[in-house]
Structure 1
Amino acid sequence: MKKGMILSIISAICFGLVPLFTKIVLSMNYDVIAIGFFRFLGLGIFSACMIKIKKVPLKLDVSILPSIALDSFFQVLTLILLSTSYLFIPTGNATSLHFMYPIFVFLILYFYYKNHFSKVQWIALILSILGILFFIDFGNMNNGIGMLIAIVSGLTYAIYMVILDKQGLAALNPFVLAFYACIMEVIVLGIIGIASGSFSVTVNGLTIVSLIALSALSIGGTLLLQVGTRLIGSGMASLFCLFEPLTSLFCGWFLLKDPILVTNILGCILIFAGIFLIMKPKKRRR
């Protein structure tokens, strides 16, 4: 249990660092399709190397390939939707709305899979979502289309996490799962990128370093999330993933000198309170 929590938190921290390097690469005229392509390409190459080194068999039951394809589809769709929402509303607001996805994870598990959650888990979810709301600048929420797209990106990511958990994908070797998923994702993004001219970009030292960093963070975030989901389930993992916006907030303040508002601090307190409830050991009955 504790191992799954820790791995999910580290995964969230890795993903929380992604926006920092994404901003650098975007400033070099790369778009989200190109960035996603290179992120998944790096993850796929790393997974292939680890499979070779560890001599892990690549053979999979053919019946599970549709689930991997479906999960890959929702991961790519999330990437495209979230990035599209940036065109309509501020990035911070879009990201905050996207991080409403734990609600969708809980609702899918509760209504579709008939999972039951304890009162503590529901309270933790409510506290965490209230915390996310404190990150939203409602003064800049004047575009309904952008808000809707950002929220839908949270729904598609929730579906990705639930499929990972409920279709048995998290039980697979993480390197093998990442390898097959990345093949599908790179092909799809490659086709979209060629059609849209996303690869007509310049390359320099800073871009290469940033792309390598993005790939490394994607490697850590994706693989650790898979193992964490296997150990504690998608519902619990989705709550610990809320360390991602906290990491982004801290990095923006520490490295980019972005201001931290009082509402941000209140949001952090609520999220930490929710996570603390989940992590707090239960008292044994005498």
Structure 2
Amino acid sequence: MRKGLVCAVLSACCFGLLPILGKLGFAHGLDSTRMLQYRFVIGALLLAAWFAATRREALRISPAGLLKTALLGGLISPVQSTCFMLSLETIPAATTSLILYFYPAVVTLLGALIHRQRIGRRVGLSLVLVTAGCALVFLDAFMREVALAGVLWACVSMAVFSVYMLLVQRLMRGERPLTFSLYVIFFAALAFTLLRGLPDPGSVTPAQAGVALALGLVPTVLALTLLYTAIEAVGSAYASIFSTMEPVTTVAAAALLLGEPVFARQLAGAALIVAGIVLPNLALLRRQARVAPG
């Protein structure tokens, strides 16, 4: 149990460092698409090597699974990732991350519209909390006169990611999660390589190489493998609760490593978003606890 919870927290922290690494990449002269190419290529190579050494069956995927991952990794993931990085070019990392975390509310609303699912009182309260949190984040951004283009890119990234999550829920049925993730990353790597071509090794500085390796390792390979280890050990509900460490990590790391100022409105918005994500998962855990003795 303890190992699973530690893995969930570490996974969220690894994901939360993505905006920080993106900012560092910009500071060292890398552009958005090149950083994303490095992230997915290095991530795909490291994951494939790890699977080949530890669980070779994870490398096998059905033709149908290959088509699904090609859609997600070759088309939707590059669009979402590019919009996310473009937002980082002009607005603080913490603001980008907190805007992205409006996606649970959007996914819930879209799911209710598409599948005609009833939204209960607890989920409704969760939506109100997340929406209020994001409203504070937007208010903070506009009061500080943050670049409107960056805010718009973050909103597009959040909207595309919401659609992506709905598609993942549908397309991953019957597929092995780790295998599915590997091929999504592989097709994203292929898409960015076709877009940008192979980089000239002689033009890559040591600092750029360090950022590239960190992007492939920390918010990609480590984040993903730790997440699935956590889900395997404690279940998706606990893993979801501790995923709220992601925006918290981004806000803290942005202040400590990038020197971004932290304002009361931003902290209040982050707290409401975290509360809105945790609330429905706590309810799920209580139901599971009641059912378990039987």
Amino acid corresponding to residue 41 of structure 1 in structure 2: V
Equivalent of residue 176 in structure 2, options 165, 172, 177: 172
User: Which range moved further: 64-73 or 30-39?
Assistant: 64-73
Q: In 2, are the aligned partners of 1:47 and 1:178 still within 8 Å (CA)?
A: no
Q: In 1, are the aligned partners of 2:89 and 2:150 still within 8 Å (CA)?
A: yes
Q: How does 1:1-286 map to 2 (within 5 A)?
A: 10-57=10-57, 58-72=59-73, 73-86=75-88, 92-136=94-138, 137-139=141-143, 140=145, 143=148, 146-168=150-172, 171-174=175-178, 176-194=179-197, 202-217=203-218, 218-224=220-226, 232=236, 237=240, 241-277=243-279, 278-279=281-282, 281-282=285-286
Q: Tell me, in whole angstroms, the C-alpha distance in 2 between the residues paired with 1:118 and 1:227.
A: 31
Q: TM-score with structure 1 length normalisation?
A: 0.80
Deviation at 1:157, TM superposition (A): 0.7
Distance 1:276-1:117 versus aligned 2 partners, 3 A rule: same
Task: Name the SS of the counterpart of 1:135 in structure 2.
Answer: helix
Q: TM-score with structure 2 length normalisation?
A: 0.78
Q: In 1, are the aligned partners of 2:92 and 2:260 still within 8 Å (CA)?
A: no
The alignment covers a number of residue pairs equal to 278
Amino acid corresponding to residue 151 of structure 1 in structure 2: C
User: Which range moved further: 184-193 or 17-26?
Assistant: 17-26
Deviation at 1:158, TM superposition (A): 1.2
Gaps spanning 5+ residues in structure 1: where? none
Deviation at 1:32, TM superposition (A): 1.1
Distance 1:125-1:170 versus aligned 2 partners, 3 A rule: farther
Q: Tell me, in whole angstroms, the C-alpha distance in 2 between the residues paired with 1:117 and 1:8.
A: 27
Deviation at 1:82, TM superposition (A): 2.3
Q: Tell me, in whole angstroms, the C-alpha distance in 1 between the residues paired with 2:102 and 2:177.
A: 29
Q: Tell me, in whole angstroms, the C-alpha distance in 1 between the residues paired with 2:115 and 2:4.
A: 21
Quote the RMSD (CA, aligned, Å).
Answer: 3.5
Deviation at 1:31, TM superposition (A): 0.7
User: Which range moved further: 1-10 or 270-279?
Assistant: 1-10
Distance 1:223-1:209 versus aligned 2 partners, 3 A rule: same
Q: 1 or 2, which has the higher helix percentage?
A: 2
